[in-house]
Amino acid sequence: MRICKLLLSISLWFAGAAFAFAETKIRVGHFPNITHAQGVVAHALSRQGKGWFEQRLGPGTKIEWFIYNAGPSAMEAIFASSIDLTYVGPGPALNAYTKSNGEEIRLIAGAANGGAGLVVQPDANLKAAADFRGKKIATPQLGNTQDISCRAWLTDGGLKITQLGGDAQVIPTQNPDQLGLFKAKRIDGVWTVEPWLGRLEQEASGKVIVEEKDVATTILVSSVKFLKEKR
């Protein structure tokens, strides 16, 4: 009987120890943009086994990284419980907060200001929003922060903008595809973030006419479920 009790005690101790040292997995999203440098650099360090966040969150912490092109996709991943945290622009975060009646996401921290703007064709006489009547501007994704900024800027300039057209066309286009379309002159401008903004300047002689220097470009948000589980 004593042996049975001793074996039971040892088994319970090991079970408790295993629980105490169980791996904590945190799933984090980011975009492959300079404005998401915190996520980009930390992701690279995790791949090298030098995890910056892992070292500061303690033993047994593992971070799984997920890459998205733009905010709406990352917010859908939060809603689907596919990720716990993500770097994202304030526009999609606010939309997600409103869509869920404040039940699904929380703002954790700021991450970056600036690094976004509007670049136009080098030979185009485009300076103000009114000049874009009948023109095409690419943005990373419908409803992302740059898409919202672009539509608001055009509207403030007196143009009527709808989801499918209006006085000027705002065309959701993934960042990697923007450069080729711009070089082929199939679009008149691109409202995007770094490094794509710089590449459009350097590789296609684009002109930056709007630069969002002081605008919050990136924040860190969490699912409410994750926060409740980790408190």
Q: Do both 72 and 159 map to the same domain?
A: no
What per-residue confidence (pLDDT) applies to 179?
95
Phi first, then psi, for residue 216 (nearest 5°) are: -65, 115
Q: At 22, is the pLDDT very low, low, confident or very high (cuts 50, 70, 90)?
A: low
- DSSP character string of 75-86: HHHHHTTS-SEE
Q: What is the mean pLDDT of residues 7-29?
A: 56
Q: At 13, is the pLDDT very low, low, confident or very high (cuts 50, 70, 90)?
A: very low
Query: Is residue 208 in a domain?
Result: yes
Query: Is residue 64 in a domain?
Result: yes
Q: At 4, is the pLDDT very low, low, confident or very high (cuts 50, 70, 90)?
A: very low
Is 20 a residue whose pLDDT tops 50? no
Q: Is 151 exposed, middle or buried (0-12, 13-18, 19+ CB in 10 A)?
A: buried
Among 2-6, 42-46, 52-56, 122-126, the range scoring the smallest mean pLDDT is 2-6
What is the C-alpha separation between 172 and 225, in angstroms, rounded? Answer: 31
pTM of the predicted structure, to 2 decimals = 0.75
Q: Do both 78 and 127 map to the same domain?
A: no
Query: Is residue 30 in a domain?
Result: yes
CA-only gyration radius of the chain, Å: 23
CB 182 within 8 A of CB 207: no
What per-residue confidence (pLDDT) applies to 18?
40
Q: What is the mean pLDDT of residues 32-38?
A: 90
- Choose among 197, 220, 76: nearest CA to 142: 76
Is 16 a residue whose pLDDT tops 90? no
Among 92-106, 133-147, 161-175, 181-195, the range scoring the smallest mean pLDDT is 161-175
Is 74 a residue whose pLDDT tops 90? yes
Q: Do both 67 and 145 map to the same domain?
A: no
Question: Where would I find the beta strands (DSSP E) of 23-90?
Answer: 24-30, 61-67, 85-88
- Choose among 115, 120, 122: nearest CA to 132: 120
What per-residue confidence (pLDDT) applies to 185?
96
Q: Which domain holds residue 130?
A: 116-213
Q: 154 — alpha (psi -120 to 50), left (phi > 0) or beta?
A: alpha
What per-residue confidence (pLDDT) applies to 205?
97
Query: Is residue 14 in a domain?
Result: no
CB 138 within 8 A of CB 69: no
Query: Is residue 84 in a domain?
Result: yes
How many structural domains is the chain composed of? 2
Is 168 a residue whose pLDDT tops 60? yes
Please name the residues in contact with 192: beta carbons below 8 A apart, sequence gap of 6 or more: 116, 117, 119, 138, 139, 140, 146, 175, 178, 200
- Domain CATH code at residue 164: 3.40.190.10
Mean of per-residue pLDDT scores for the chain: 88
**Facing residues of 139 across strands?**
172
Could you tell me the two tokens for 50?
């030098």
Is 2 a residue whose pLDDT tops 60? no
* % of the chain residues with pLDDT over 70: 90
